[in-house]
Each structure stands twice: as C-alpha cells, then as structure tokens.
Amino acid sequence: ELLRIDHVGIAVPDLDAAIRFYAENFGLRCVHEETNDEQGVREAMLAVGDGTGPRLQLLAPARPDSAIAKFLDRSGPGLQQLAYTVADVEVAAEKLRARGLRLLYDEPRRGTAGSRINFVHPKDAGGVLVELVEPA
C-alpha cells in the first residue's frame, strides 16, 4: 500500500533561514514553496541530489496555535514527520483504521501542491507522526 517515502518533514522556526542553511551546507535545492492556511504552515520542498528520491520538507509556523508552533514549543526544531506516498489516501487510511490505528482526520485534507493527506497519530505509530500522501 505504501509506494515509497514521499518526504521527511523538519520543523524550523524561520523558513527562509532554513532554506539558506540547507542550500549552503548541503546543496539542497528549493523546488516548491507554499503557505497552507488550513495547516497553519509555511513550507518548502527541497530536492536531494538528482531530485528523483524523497524530498526534505521544511515546515515553519504561520500562526502561534498551529501544529508546528506547538511542536517547536515542546520539542524545538527537528524531525517532525515521515510521509509515505500512497495511490489512494482514503483506501490506505481505511486499512489502517481497520487495524485499530487512529487517523487524525475523518476525511483527507489538502497537502502540498494539491495532494490529499491524512496522518496516523504518533502514539499509534511508535512515536512517529506518519503522513499518507496521495499526490495530485
């Protein structure tokens, strides 16, 4: 059901500073940037190497009551989520629900670049916030 790793998400306090940090130190290229109002994030997608593999997603808070703001307050900057590509997010979510895992949303929400997303609660996934991504 999980096709591949889609991206790894890192919470950062300042998106522009983080984009510069990854470009200067690791040579990663920013290939997409957007603000997701529903999620309360400013985010950037960075390509690694030839760009064919999983991306690095930088996530900065757009409002103080957002999931990323809360994560930064509690844990500081660092790895926040692991996202897998799926063909159909509703089918993937339903299979996990049937196995007793808590999905955060009843219905998929909008993710990066028009994708449809849902999440498994980290307490039901070994301490990892798992995201399911159905690309647009």
> Burial, 54: exposed, middle or buried (Cβ in 10 Å; 0-12, 13-18, 19+)?
middle
For the CB of residue 47, give the shortest distance to ligand V0V in the complex, in Å.
Answer: 15
Choice between 24 and 82, CB closer to ligand V0V: 82
Answer whether 101's CB lies under 8 Å from 124's CB.
yes
Distance between the two ends of the chain, CA-based, in angstroms?
Answer: 17
For the CB of residue 61, give the shortest distance to ligand V0V in the complex, in Å.
Answer: 9
Give whole-number Cα distances, 73 to 9, 69, 131, in Å. Answer: 16, 6, 21
Choice between 16 and 70, CB closer to ligand V0V: 70
For the CB of residue 86, give the shortest distance to ligand V0V in the complex, in Å.
Answer: 13
Binding site for ligand V0V (CB under 6 A): 9, 36, 39, 41, 57, 59, 67-68, 70-71, 74, 80-81, 83, 104, 111-112, 115, 117, 119, 122-123, 127, 129, 131
Choice between 96 and 129, CB closer to ligand V0V: 129
Closest CA to 78 of 64, 59, 104: 59
Choice between 70 and 97, CB closer to ligand V0V: 70
For the CB of residue 52, give the shortest distance to ligand V0V in the complex, in Å.
Answer: 19
Half-sphere exposure of 30 (CA within 13 A, CB side): 17
Type of residue numbered 92: A
